[in-house]
Amino acid sequence: MTTHADPTTTEEQVPYAPEHTPRLNWSAHAPEVLKAMLRLDAAARKGLDPKLVELVKVRASQINHCALCVDMHSKDALAAGESVERIIQLSAWEESAHFYTEKELAALALTESVTVLTEGFVPDAVYERAAAHFEEAELAQLIAAITVINAWNRFGVTCRLVPGHYRPGQHA
């Protein structure tokens, strides 16, 4: 059982809720699918700034409510040299534009629209904003990277994978 210490009081520590177990160990049942996903992930990162990739991955994972992915990519972002402030502000990035470059903001806007397809399409304004900051091949990779984190999010959420145990570099 996990307990959390409160340095300001001597009152009895209140335990956190118990950790859940995953619904399904999908990669054990579909190892060839995991292999394809890892190959896809590596291919989609090519040509993109690693710190930008992590910002995109954290934001998509927030929108899709993937706990494991938020844990992993927040830690990967920090390990890549990202600041705590920029990671914290990601869920409100439109209201904290001065934390990010115009190019990063364009990438975050594209991330949201490509992630929330069920609400309708990718608006011209969002696409054109991204196209103004990314040359064509880089833009195609950005679309691929957004797609791939959406895929990981789906495995993570559906199988209810457990956050909190990731250490940066463990899959390297």
Partner 1 sequence: MSRTNLLDREVGRAMSTLSAAAKQGLGDPALAELVVIRASQLNHCAFCLDMHLTIAREHGVSEKQLGLLSAWEEAGDVYDERERAALALTEAVTLLTGGTSQAFGSGGGFVPDAVYERAARHFDAPRLAHLVALITAINSWNRVMVARRIPPGGYTP
The least CB distance from residue 160 to partner 1, in Å, is 8
97-130: b or e for each residue (b if 16 or more CB lie within 10 Å)? eebbeebbbbbbbbbbbbbeeeeeebeeebbebb
Residue 162 as a binder of partner 1 (CB under 8 A): the answer is: no
The least CB distance from residue 165 to partner 1, in Å, is 20
SS3 per-residue string spanning 12-51: CCCECCCCCCCCCCHHHHCHHHHHHHHHHHHHHHCCCCHH
Give the residue, chosen from 19, 91, 121, 165, that forms a contact with partner 1 under the rule CB under 8 A.
121
Residue 171 as a binder of partner 1 (CB under 8 A): the answer is: no
The least CB distance from residue 39 to partner 1, in Å, is 4
Taking contact as CB under 8 A, which single stretch among the options 30-38, 49-57, 79-87, 94-102 is the one that binds partner 1?
30-38
Residue 109 as a binder of partner 1 (CB under 8 A): the answer is: no
* Contact letters for partner 1, residues 35-74 (x by CB under 8 A): -xx-xx--xx-x----------------xxxx--------
Which parts of 124-143 interact with partner 1 (CB under 8 A)? Answer: 124, 127-128, 131, 136-137, 139-141, 143
Which residues have CB under 8 Å from 60's CB, separation 6+?
69, 111, 115, 146, 149, 150, 153
Taking contact as CB under 8 A, which single stretch among the options 11-19, 50-58, 75-83, 150-158 is the one that binds partner 1?
150-158
Interface residues with partner 1 (CB under 8 A) are 23-24, 26-27, 29-30, 32-33, 36-37, 39-40, 43-44, 46, 63-66, 110, 114-122, 124, 127-128, 131, 136-137, 139-141, 143-144, 146-148, 150-151, 153-155, 157-160
